[in-house]
Amino acid sequence: MQSIRQEMEQWEKTMLSPYASLSSQSRGRDRQEPPCDIRPVYQRDRDRIVHCKSFRRLKHKTQVFLTPKGDHYRTRLTHTLEVSQIARTVARALRLNEELTEAIALGHDLGHAPFGHAGERALDQVSACGFSHNEQSVRVVELLEKKGEGLNLTWEVRDGIRNHPTAGRPHTLEGKIVRLSDKIAYINHDIDDAIRGGILLEEEIPQDYRKILGVTTRERLNTLIHDVIFQSLGKPDICMSREVETAMGELRKFMFRQVYTNPRAKGQEEKAEKLLQELFAYYQKHLDTLPPKYRRLMEERGEDPNRVICDYISGMTDQFATETFEEIYVPKVWSVR
Instruction: Specify whether the CB–CB gap between 83 and 103 falls below 8 A.
Output: no
Give the residue from 27, 36, 33, 32 showing the smallest Cα distance to 7: 36
**pLDDT for residue 265:** 64
Instruction: Specify whether the CB–CB gap between 209 and 243 falls below 8 A.
Output: no
Instruction: Specify whether the CB–CB gap between 170 and 179 falls below 8 A.
Output: yes
Residues across the chain = 337
Instruction: Specify whether the CB–CB gap between 174 and 107 falls below 8 A.
Output: no
Phi, psi of 62 (to 5 degrees): -65, 140
Phi, psi of 40 (to 5 degrees): -65, 165
Instruction: Specify whether the CB–CB gap between 95 and 177 falls below 8 A.
Output: no
**pLDDT for residue 334:** 65
Instruction: Specify whether the CB–CB gap between 281 and 273 falls below 8 A.
Output: no
Integer angstrom CA distances of residue 335 from 35, 108, 330, 332: 61, 48, 16, 10
For residues 58 and 50, give the distance between their C-alpha atoms in angstroms, rounded to a whole number: 11
Phi, psi of 29 (to 5 degrees): -110, 160
**Tens digits of per-residue pLDDT, 79-103?**
999 999 999 999 999 999 999 999 9
**pLDDT for residue 218:** 95
Instruction: Specify whether the CB–CB gap between 25 and 84 falls below 8 A.
Output: no
For residues 182 and 178, give the distance between their C-alpha atoms in angstroms, rounded to a whole number: 6
Instruction: Specify whether the CB–CB gap between 129 and 304 falls below 8 A.
Output: yes
- DSSP assignment, residue 331? P
Mean pLDDT in each 10-residue stretch from start to end of the chain (337 residues)? 95 98 98 97 98 97 79 93 98 98 98 95 97 98 96 98 96 98 96 92 95 96 98 98 97 92 78 96 98 96 97 97 96 70
- Half-sphere exposure of residue 238: CA atoms within 13 angstroms, side-chain side: 26
For residues 31 and 70, give the distance between their C-alpha atoms in angstroms, rounded to a whole number: 44
pTM of the model: 0.96
**pLDDT for residue 71:** 81
Which neighbouring-strand residues pair with 154? 29
